[in-house]
Amino acid sequence: MSSFNLSWFVGPFPGSGRNIDDPSWTIVAEKLASVLQNAGCLQLEKEDENEMPQLLEVRSENRAYLVTFGHAPSGDWQVLGYKNAEATEMDEPVEIGNTKWNRKCICYDPQVVISLFAEYFETQTVPAKLRR
């Protein structure tokens, strides 16, 4: 299996950031905590067993988190996202990174975001909560 590439930025969108090849979980967790506490974006990317790209991403602003998993299992890019079961169509959209998002896509619990990244880092497959 291929190793991960970690890229991130902390601060207002669009920020400038950095990337690290083959990071340890300690480094991923440290950068993730910084993005979740502030504003920013973090991506954990790798190739799957067929050498197709896949990545888990979080965009963060004002303690609202947009979590997506993108992959290309058959060559066509597919995106899965976190589903907030408590949100309704009537809720106001949330702005993250100068884009408005439906609240049904937004997670407000940083521990859920951390657990998604930990699962992806450990299993190297799409987290179960995003497969619904």
pLDDT in tens, 9-20: 998 766 678 899
Angle between helices 110-123 and 25-37 (to 10 degrees): 160
Residue type, 43: Q
Write out the residue range of the structural domain in which residue 85 sits.
Answer: 5-130
Mean of pLDDT values over 39-62: 88
Q: Are the CB atoms for 75 and 35 separated by under 8 Å?
A: no
The percent of residues in the chain predicted with pLDDT above 70, rounded, is 93
The percent of residues in the chain predicted with pLDDT above 90, rounded, is 57
Q: How many domains does the chain have?
A: 1
DSSP-derived secondary structure for 15-79: PP-EEEES--HHHHHHHHHHHHHSSEEEEEEEE-TTS-EEEEEEEEETTEEEEEEEE-TTSS-EE
